[in-house]
A = this chain, B = another copy of it.
């Protein structure tokens, strides 16, 4: 009949006020909050209270404090870093398997490609094409630059898909997979997938998106992920991922 009431703590109300100021745009990214000792007077609370509030806001990815700076805590540009940390914690805590992560990426990655195929502009195609060209002309030793251009390529697709939420979560999950599998990938993935295969896949993807073939673009994302990470999974898990790849044997819609 009655709702439970949680005793509010002073620092929580401080957090709420600053949080609201950021979300409402009153405090823009790059702005600076007053110094801790100034906030103490403004909020009429002790310094430790202010500091605990700032620690929370910092862990939420909304603030960044730099000691010594006379400008005070800086409002962050985005809180994706906090999201990444939280999702990392979730994966650790709930023992999310690699199979689940890859499956998730197959879902969201293919959807992003599908959308990109329909919504891409000539600029997006150009960015993808130049990224491929630069990758081709990069010496095999320069792994750093190669990865940079790969990022550019996928960034173009993400931009074209037009859904920021989808791209951010997709990117985080991707990073999580790479982080968790850092060792396994180095010994298993690199030898299998040669540089030429990698480039061929990118060219196919570019062509599919250019021709607005969303289904093909989506399929390429799904199958390539399965190719790359399949060897690291059990037969059972691979079977689960296979379910996401449509079997074209279904009867066609007569319309």
Contact = CB atoms under 8 A, between A and B. Distances in A.
A90 B80 contact: yes
Contact of A108 (B85, B107, B214, B240): B107
A250 interface: yes
Interface string A113-134: 0110011000000000000000
Contacts of A48: 48, 51
Q: Classify the secondary structure of A's interface with B.
A: helix
Interface stretch (A147-155, A157-165, A185-193): A157-165
Contacts of A86: 60-61, 79, 82-83, 86
Chain A interface size, as a band, is 35 or more
Interface string A97-118: 0001101100110010011001
Interface stretch (A135-143, A197-205, A241-249): A241-249
Interface of A: 7, 11, 19, 22-23, 48, 51-52, 55-56, 58-62, 67, 78-80, 82-83, 85-87, 89-94, 96, 100-101, 103-104, 107-108, 111, 114-115, 118-119, 162-166, 168-169, 214-215, 240, 243-244, 246, 248-250, 252-253, 255
